[in-house]
């Protein structure tokens, strides 16, 4: 097993259990404890974990971007619930802008029973997911690949997204806060998502319950920019009041 593969598996365990122990990892991967310590050193240096005596804990800073292949295995049931709800909002022949989130891949999968959709995206993973759909128009934004994210970003991506007039933009985020708005961990992601919102008639925010009252590094937009918020669990009454006051529809499985 390559070191990078082992570190991703360690990250998956950190996401699941919030902590790992050197001795246990050494046995599980059949490598020396020193090798595991080097792995944890690397994860600590990258800001993904916080190394301590005998192990490490997950760095739960909302601005930290985990590798795509690690993130896509987190809260799969929640992402499936969100995708199923969003599929009800999409009509045949819609023009959709879809962001490069792991939730976006589940959404793309859930839309495959629709006809003649146009999907504009900066997600390489979404394009791969939809490569077997015959009657859709799949359009890439262009741009520069962001390491570890399978996303296209930068000036060319922003310019590519800006030339379209879509029906709906579906974006995710790292945090949604009543004061700080909708935020992401990376300015490159935020600027592409701002352009997605500008290029669509309706903004649908796909956000799981763990992102509420969290603030990440870079602001995408105010909460008021959302037309619909789709989540996997019923938000607090306080949040439901905010959405009601702003005229935002909130969808969740128990609705």
Q: What is the pLDDT of residue 8?
A: 84
How high is the pLDDT of residue 12?
A: 83
Digit-coded pLDDT (tens) for 6-61: 888 898 888 778 889 999 999 999 999 999 999 999 888 888 888 888 999 888 77
| Residue predicted with more confidence, 164 or 16 | 164
Calculate mean pLDDT across residues 121-137: 95
Q: Class of the 70-251 domain?
A: alpha beta
**178 CA to centre of own chain:** 20
Positive/negative CA dihedral, 100, 105, 110, 111:
positive
* pLDDT band of 70, cuts 50, 70, 90: low
- Predicted pLDDT at 49: 87
Taking 70 as the threshold, does the pLDDT of residue 73 lie above it? Answer: no
More confident residue, 2 or 33: 33
Q: Using one digit for the tens of pLDDT, what is the confidence trace for 82-101?
A: 999 999 999 999 999 999 99
CA atoms within 13 A on the CB side of 196: 33
Number of Cβ within 10 Å of residue 163's Cβ equals 11
The rounded mean pLDDT for the chain is 92
Q: Which fold has domain 3-60?
A: Arc Repressor Mutant, subunit A (1.10.10)
Work out the percent of the chain whose per-residue pLDDT is above 70: 95
pLDDT band at residue 72 using 50, 70 and 90 as cut-offs:
low
Q: State residue 176 phi and psi, 5-degree precision.
A: -135, 120
Residue ranges covered by each domain of the chain: 3-60, 70-251
**Cα–Cα dist 144/116, whole Å:** 28
pLDDT recorded at residue 80? 95
Q: Specify the pLDDT at position 150.
A: 87
Give me the residue label for tokens 């879509």: 166
pLDDT category at 187 given cuts 50, 70, 90 is very high
DSSP string covering 136-191: -EEEE---EEETTTTEEESHHHHHHHHT--EEEEEE--SEEETTTEEEES-HHHHH
User: What secondary structure letter does DSSP report for 66?
Assistant: -
Q: Does 64 have pLDDT greater than 70? A: no
Under the banding of pLDDT at 50, 70 and 90, the label for residue 69 is low
pLDDT at 170 over 80: yes
């Amino acid at each position: 097993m390559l070191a990078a593969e082992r570190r991703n598996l360690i990250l998956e365990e950190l996401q699941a259990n919030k902590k790992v122990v050197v001795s246990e990892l050494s046995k599980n991967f059949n490598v020396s404890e020193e090798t595991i310590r080097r792995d944890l050193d690397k994860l600590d240096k990258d800001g993904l974990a916080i190394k301590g005596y005998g192990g490490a804990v997950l760095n739960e800073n909302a601005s930290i971007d985990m590798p795509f292949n690690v993130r896509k295995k987190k809260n799969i049931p929640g992402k499936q619930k969100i995708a199923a709800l969003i599929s009800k909002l999409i009509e045949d022949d819609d023009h959709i802008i879809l962001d490069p989130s792991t939730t976006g891949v589940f959404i793309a999968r859930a839309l495959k029973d629709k006809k003649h959709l146009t999907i504009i995206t900066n997600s390489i993973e979404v394009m791969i997911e939809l490569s077997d759909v015959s009657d859709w128009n799949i359009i890439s934004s262009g741009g520069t690949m962001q390491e570890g994210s399978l996303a296209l970003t930068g000036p060319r991506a922003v310019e590519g997204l800006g030339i379209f007039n879509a029906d709906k933009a579906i974006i995710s985020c790292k945090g949604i806060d009543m004061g700080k708005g909708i935020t992401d961990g990376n300015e490159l992601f935020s600027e592409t998502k701002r352009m997605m919102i500008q290029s669509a008639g309706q903004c649908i925010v796909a956000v799981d319950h763990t992102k509420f009252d969290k603030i990440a590094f870079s602001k995408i937009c105010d909460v008021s920019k959302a037309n619909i918020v789709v989540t996997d669990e019923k938000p607090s009454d306080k949040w439901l009041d905010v959405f009601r006051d702003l005229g935002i529809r909130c969808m969740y499985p128990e609705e």
